Amino acid sequence: MNAAADLERRYRRSLAWYPRAFRREYEEEMLTVLMESARDGQRRPGVAQAADLVRNALWMRLRPGVPRSAPVVFAAVRLMYLGAVVEVMTLITVVLTAGMLRSEILSVDPGFTAAQWQALVWTNLAPLVGGGTMATVVWLWMAWANGRAHRWGRTGFAVFFAITTLSLLNGISQDAAAYAMPDLIAGIALWLVALAAVVLLYTRSSARYFRTPRSI
């Protein structure tokens, strides 16, 4: 097989990392540019070039696709990323303070057994960590969906907001041990972020953004 055909095949393989819609619009054109910049007899993409293709392709898939003409939605998507960050920080705090919590209990009640500790972890901490992990994934997923102008993303986030509200109210009303003060503060902070994002998503200018077809 000749060098050019070899090179083209390899470039196409790198370009396959891009989202389909982007490829439909730009693949042939990018291939033209790649082949034009190639040296005579070159058979493989350069390392820097291939890395640049893959890096940009991944960025294409992950980046929020909100245009500058929709600053309100852009702000909402940023708030969702903020929500994910707060959620992760809360998770880390919970995990790191678990050991401290145990020594604190032991200092008050030296008879506290390992079995009791395990039961406590399983009934209180594990659901908190599990729920927090799930919530982080949902925050990120929603940021992605709304950044891509998927209409279901907006509805999905409204539902997520409703669930967050209910679980916060539930936590407050139960006044359970699991809802210690720092927990409550984190819960309220997250709820406020979600509230702000949901309000931004349902303004009139955002409605226009969700109506227009998505561009690449």
Partner 1 sequence: MQEATFLILTALAAGSQHGYGIIIDVLAISDGRVRLQAGTLYTALARLRTDRLIESDREEIVDNRLRRYYRLTQNGAARLATEASRLHANASAAQARLQPGGALS
**Residue ranges that bind partner 1, judged by CB under 8 A:** 22, 25-26, 28-37, 48-49, 52-57, 59-60, 65, 67-69, 215-216
Question: Cβ 137 to partner 1, closest distance in Å?
Answer: 26
User: Please, which residue, 37 or 155, has the CB nearer to partner 1?
Assistant: 37
- Kindly state the smallest distance separating residue 67's Cβ from partner 1, in Å: 5
Provide, rounded to whole angstroms, the least separation between the CB of residue 81 and partner 1.
Answer: 19
Residue type, 185: I
Q: Which is nearer to partner 1, 67 or 131 (CB)?
A: 67
Q: From the CB of 6, what's the least distance to partner 1, in Å?
A: 17
Cβ atoms of 97 and 132 within 8 Å: the answer is: no
User: Exposed, middle or buried by CB within 10 Å (0-12, 13-18, 19+), for 184?
Assistant: middle
Closest CB to partner 1 among 69 and 174?
69
Q: What's the Cα-to-Cα distance from 108 to each of 99, 122, 136, 184, rounded to whole Å?
A: 15, 21, 34, 24
Is the separation of the CB atoms in 141 and 160 below 8 Å?
Answer: no
Write the Ramachandran bin of 213: left for phi over 0, alpha for psi from -120 to 50, otherwise beta.
Answer: beta
Q: How far is the CB of 26 from partner 1 (least distance, A)?
A: 5
Closest to partner 1 by CB, 32 or 116: 32
Of the chain, the end-to-end C-alpha distance in Å amounts to 35
**What span, in angstroms and rounded, lies between the C-alpha atoms of 81 and 74?**
11
**Given the complex with partner 1, which of 57 and 135 has the nearer CB atom?**
57
